[in-house]
Amino acid sequence: MNAITKFLNRLSTIPVLIIFCILFGACIVYVLPHQKAATAVYSHDVGSVGLSFFPIPDRIYEMAEGYGEEGRRAYIKVWLTYDLLWPFVYTVFFLVCINLLWGYVHGAKGSRLCAVAVPPLILDYVENVIAIILMARYPVRMDGVAWVLTFATGLKWIGMGVVFGMVAYGILAVPVRFICMQVKRQSESTY
């Protein structure tokens, strides 16, 4: 665990934050809308497995049917290309943000909490692999595997909520910590 913490501390620099902030922003502003528009052709407003909170197996198979054969192939292509990169980008972005923000506010112990950004990455990849299997095997039903997808997707979104909350807390706590440090310095310099 100590080696992982050291690696994350070395990774968490302002230049890395800037690079991944640009990549994160580019994905949000350009890639995600472009990808959504491209897949909307096939989705016929049935939704997306990865964007659903807790898609039960019947709902997953409704989506698979709604996509059609060509749509399922298109979604598999997305999961094998774009959706391999996007989780990595957002995970590194959040790792670095939490490490720097919480490290500033709470020191070394706080910076270690950045590892909370890793489980959503793992769950996102699990979700993608299982979705590929289910879409490739459709119309064959694999309900046990679909339930694993359901829980992976739900847990991914819960994990992302925790990560967003930690980043929001860090963004709010940094100015408070800075002001407190300035007040403390002022009071120490007057004695």
For residue 64, give both structure tokens: 């698979």
User: What gap in Å lies between CA 77 and CA 84, rounded to an integer?
Assistant: 10
Q: What per-residue confidence (pLDDT) applies to 19?
A: 96
User: 108-132 pLDDT, tens per residue?
Assistant: 889 899 999 999 999 999 999 999 9
Q: Which amino acid is at 144?
A: G
Helices (H), 81-113: 82-111
Closest to 146 in 3D by CA, of 63, 45, 40, 44: 63
User: What is the model's pTM?
Assistant: 0.89
Model confidence pLDDT, tens digit, residues 16-75: 999 999 999 999 999 888 888 877 787 777 888 888 899 999 999 999 999 999 989 988
Predicted confidence at residue 166, as pLDDT, reads: 97
d(CA 21, CA 136): 34
Give the dihedral sign, CA 14/16/18/24. Answer: negative
Q: What is the dihedral of CA 68, 151, 77, 160, to 10 degrees?
A: 130
- Summarize pLDDT for 159-168 with one digit per residue, the tens: 999 999 999 9
How far apart CA 145 and CA 165 sit, in angstroms, is: 30
Q: Where are the domains of the chain?
A: 2-44+55-180
Give 93: exposed, middle or buried? Use CB within 10 Å, 0-12, 13-18, 19+.
buried
Q: Smallest Cα–Cα separation from 105: which of 159, 180, 55, 43?
A: 180
